[in-house]
Amino acid sequence: MPRIVCISDTHNCNEQIRVPDGDILVHAGDATISGTVAEVAAFNRWFSGLPHKHKIFVAGNHDRLFETNNSLAREMLNENITYLQDSSVEIDGLKIYGSPWQPRFFDWAFNLMRGAELAEKWALIPDDTEILITHGPPYGILDEVPRRFFVENTGCEELIKKVEYLSGKKLKAHIFGHIHCGYGRSEKFGVQFVNASNCDEAYLPTQKPVVFDI
Q: Encode pLDDT of 61-112 as tens digits.
A: 999 999 999 999 999 999 999 999 999 999 989 999 999 999 998 889 999 9
3-state secondary structure of 71: helix
The CATH number of domain 3-213 is 3.20.20.20:
no
| Cβ proximity of 91 and 24 under 8 Å | yes
pLDDT given for residue 59 in this prediction: 98
Tell me the Cα Rg of the chain.
16
Confidence of residue 149 (pLDDT cuts 50, 70, 90): confident
3-state secondary structure of 1: coil
Tens digit of each residue's pLDDT (9 = 90 or more) over 166-178: 999 999 999 999 9
State if pTM tops 0.95: yes
Report whether pLDDT(150) > 90.
Answer: no
The dihedral built from the CA positions of residue 35, 36, 42 and 47, taken in this order, carries a sign that is positive
CA–CA gap between residue 207 and residue 129 (Å, rounded): 28
Residue 137 sits at the vertex; the CA angle it makes with 136 and 141, to the nearest 5 degrees, is 165
Confidence of residue 152 (pLDDT cuts 50, 70, 90): confident
pLDDT given for residue 63 in this prediction: 98
The dihedral built from the CA positions of residue 38, 39, 43 and 46, taken in this order, carries a sign that is positive
Mean pLDDT across the chain: 97
pLDDT given for residue 54 in this prediction: 98
DSSP 176: E
